[in-house]
Amino acid sequence: MKSWKDNVSFVLVEPCEPGNIGASARALKNMGFRRLELVSPAQFLNDDARSMACGGKDVLEQAVVHSSFSQAIANKQLIVGTTRRYGSKRGLFLPLEKAAKRIVVAAAKNKVAILFGREQNGLYNQEIEECGFLIRIQVNPAFPSLNLGQAVMLVAYELSQQKLKEELPRFVRNKEIQKLYKRIHANLLLLGYKAKGDKDLEAIIMRNIKHLISRAGLTEWELKMIHGICTQIENRLKKK
């Protein structure tokens, strides 16, 4: 029987240390996960990575490699980021335990990507904007930086402690959401939302719409409904 764990992918974005990739594979195997995905990684199938993977060599060797970030998230229905940086424009932050509960509920019927950023720079702002919410692991504020393998282990462990008690409906995939964002953006421009001086209202609205939709998810019916609203707006403006 398929487990919700099969719907959870741990996505390492541009990891540069093969040992960290191997350690991440071992952590996933320890906690009962198997979906490791890598975005433009360094050459990782070497002795260092295999040594760090230990009994998780199968997870390491079966890792899915993506050539771009957009490719990695295209077929996911919920995208969750990990970060140690706060910011008012970065969306919703959740403590690890609360985030884990949300992920498990979503993963019953949806493919979830949990993003881990680069060893030196983390996730970029444009990658953060694609996330429904962000996980910030509570550590010593005087030394908040975690090793990549440690971060993967902590998240995987917390997820493994959760029990599936309810389910969210099936959501549309990220690539369908991206098409919707483009259409909403075009409609905002038609309605006259443009940058004025130092205030770019259109960009602010789009950022908040992305946060809202990414956080809540969209069912097929809801997607069609919003496309229908966009069609009505476009038709009315054409008549005028």
- Count of residues making up the chain: 240
User: What are the residue ranges of CATH 1.10.8.590 in the chain?
Assistant: 174-239
The whole-number pLDDT of residue 180 equals 96
172-185 core/surface letters (b: 16 or more CB in 10 A; e: else): bbbebbeebeebbb
Q: What pLDDT score was predicted for residue 36?
A: 98
CA dihedral 37, 41, 44, 48 (to 10 degrees): -100
The per-residue pLDDT for 197 is 65
Interatomic CA distance for residues 92 and 114, integer angstroms: 15
Q: Which residues lie below 8 Å from residue 84, measured CB to CB, with a gap of 6+?
A: 122, 136, 137, 139, 144, 145, 146
The pLDDT tens digits of the residues spanning 156-173 come to 999 999 988 778 899 999
CB–CB of 201/208 below 8 Å? no
Residues of the chain with CATH 3.40.1280.10: 4-160
Q: Give residue 86's pLDDT.
A: 67
pLDDT at 218: 94
Residues lower than pLDDT 50 in the chain: none
Domain 174-239: assigned CATH number: 1.10.8.590
3.30.470.20, 2.30.30.140, 1.10.260.40, 3.40.1280.10: which CATH number matches 4-160?
A: 3.40.1280.10
Q: Where are the beta strands (DSSP E) in 44-175?
A: 64-66, 78-82, 93-94, 112-116, 133-135
Note whether 11 and 81 are within 8 A (CB): no
59-109 pLDDT, tens digit per residue, is 999 999 999 999 999 999 999 999 887 665 667 899 999 999 999 999 999
pTM of the entire structure? 0.88
User: What is the structure's pLDDT at 87?
Assistant: 62
Number of H helices, E strands in the chain: 10, 9
